[in-house]
Amino acid sequence: MKYTLLLAIVLFGSSCSMKNYSQMKPNSYYLVDIVDFEDFSEVILEKAVNKSKATLLLNEENGDFTGQLNGIAFSGNLELGKTSSGFVKGFYVATQLGYLQSGSHDDKSFDAFTSKLANAKRLYFYNNALIDGKWAVLEISIEGDSKMMFLKKK
């Protein structure tokens, strides 16, 4: 009886540890290297988010944000301006950087990321209905550069 119970516990424990639990934090956006989400499945999007080295927690009402890239924390505020009336797919928000703070570091990719964030001119929020509406997308348009794409699991 003891051995049966022990075997059941070991088997149950090993089956639980084999599952691929998501590392995502609720309400955080994750930077991904995907430009067009329509061609990607739920599994591919989940893997892209789990590989992400940048997180962004953005208060969509006042523009305050916190985040982390390569283990370096940052925080700041995007001054939110004119908001579009909303389109079928999502809505735009004009923005400019209020302030940005971070600790000391020697990371060039962090500097490039925060430089893009500082030059953000427009935020575009939308839900991706093509993949069951499970993902919220945030595109940050940067003056003179490519967009930064973020995903958030709903």
Structural domain spans, the chain: 24-153
Cα–Cα separations (whole angstroms), residue 1 to 5, 6, 10, 53, 59: 6, 9, 14, 48, 55
Q: What is the DSSP letter of 145?
A: S
Each residue of 18-48: pLDDT tens digit?
333 234 444 678 888 765 666 567 777 788 8
Each residue of 102-144: pLDDT tens digit?
988 889 999 999 999 999 999 988 876 655 567 888 889 998 8
**CATH class as words, domain 24-153:** mainly beta
